[in-house]
Structure 1
Amino acid sequence: MKTCCTVTVSVLLAAVFMQVSCSSTTMKRVTKVQVSGFDWKNCGQPDAPAVLKSLAISPDPVAIPGDVTASASGSTSVELASPLAVNVTLEKEVAGFWVKVPCLEELGSCHYEDACDILNQLIPPGQDCPEPLHSYGLPCHCPFKSGTYSLPQSDFYLPYMDLPYWLTNGNYRVQGVVGGGAKELGCLEVAVSIHSD
């Protein structure tokens, strides 16, 4: 069995982190963030090639900066290669209604032509994959071959980060749809509550 942080999660998180690292004018430094109520589900078709089978994150709430423990498993029945489009839809709960956050400075509900390019920007080709992927010999660049993927329970440190002013308190849900050509390959929806000081 191959091991990796499931491809759908990797691509979705890469898009989110790339959004945060590329945005500037709407960012502010926050000293402490708590992320709680983490929940996820597959939102694609029952026969979607890429699916997440398990994802666990602890503690709840997760403190940023701070330590987090995560494990994940999933599979893809097709090779995921460039160009790998990702559509991200970000919503915030306002007065009991879910409001779509528009795409501002590549953050929010945005379309990315190729998530493989995002991964290459975060981790330049030829550079070792970050831990714990490197220790396990796990890939962090396209193409991701078809197969079963799993990340054993692993510890990470989440550093300080800059957040956009509107992403500091509230309930959020983000949906990422991964596609190749004209076909949807996988869909993941994640919900969290964010509180910052």
Structure 2
Amino acid sequence: MHDFDIAPNPVVTGKAITLTIRAETKKVLNGSDVKLDLSRSSLFGWVPLPCVFHFGSCTYHDSCTLLKRMKDENWGGMMADIITQVDSYFSMYNIDLTCPVSKQSLTISSMNVSLPHVPSYLSFLASGSYKVHVNMVDRHTKEQTFCLDLEFSIA
């Protein structure tokens, strides 16, 4: 990952965000497990959030089918629309994430994604400051394939 930017910060639910991504795969990827650690700022410091309805600190098995599952199952009642928007940008930029994912460069400037309002059952994620750690490990070799740390706020 060379560059990853989210604007505006803080993110406002029900509004659009703009993503800029510049990355490359340096080897063929044939399926990874994705571990996401999400923490929220509180009076007591950073508090890890549990995995609820596929949101929070979760482990997602098989990255080859992850986006399809998020869309088909409409995780959290809001992911189908988001993934549809992201898929259209991937198509426009000729980015193929079909496994095995070949070595490739990925550059997307100003990807606009409309965010839905957060459903009431996920209201614990509705506002605040967050830290995210994403770690991907190859399912076969157990080798780390991706790591990302970021901080953002939701207004």
Structures share a fold, TM > 0.5?
A: yes
Per-residue CA deviation, residues 160-195 of structure 1 (Å, 9 max, x unaligned), is: 342613212221111110110311111101211223
What does residue 59 of structure 1 align with?
8
In the superposition, relative to structure 1, how do residues 160 and 87 fare at CA in structure 2: closer, same or farther (>3 Å)? same
- Which consecutive residues of structure 2, in runs of 5 or more, have no partner in the other structure? 73-83
1:117 aligns with 2:44: no
CA distance in 1, matches of 2:154, 2:110: 23
CA distance in 1, matches of 2:107, 2:14: 25
Secondary structure, in 3 states, of the residue corresponding to 2:69? helix
- The total of aligned residue pairs comes to 140
More helix by share: 2
In the superposition, relative to structure 1, how do residues 140 and 76 fare at CA in structure 2: closer, same or farther (>3 Å)? closer
CA distance in 2, matches of 1:131, 1:161: 22
What does residue 28 of structure 2 align with?
79
Asked if the contact 2:10/2:153 (under 8 Å) is kept, the reply is no
What does residue 110 of structure 2 align with?
153
Per-residue CA deviation, residues 64-113 of structure 1 (Å, 9 max, x unaligned), is: 3223322210112111122x111111111121511212233433212222
CA distance in 2, matches of 1:161, 1:95: 23
Asked if the contact 1:120/1:141 (under 8 Å) is kept, the reply is no
Asked if the contact 1:119/1:140 (under 8 Å) is kept, the reply is no
Greater Cα shift, 173-182 or 115-124:
115-124
What aligned pairs does 1:96-107 form with structure 2 within 5 A after superposition?
Answer: 96-107=44-55
Asked if the contact 1:177/1:186 (under 8 Å) is kept, the reply is yes
Asked if the contact 2:136/2:147 (under 8 Å) is kept, the reply is yes
CA distance in 1, matches of 2:115, 2:124: 20
Identical amino acids, percent of aligned pairs:
24
Q: CA deviation at 1:123?
A: 5.2
Q: TM-score, length-normalised on structure 1?
A: 0.61
Secondary structure, in 3 states, of the residue corresponding to 2:2? strand
CA distance in 2, matches of 1:115, 1:173: 22
- Which consecutive residues of structure 1, in runs of 5 or more, have no partner in the other structure? 1-51
Q: TM-score, length-normalised on structure 2?
A: 0.75
What is the RMSD of the two structures over their aligned residues, measured on CA atoms?
Answer: 2.4
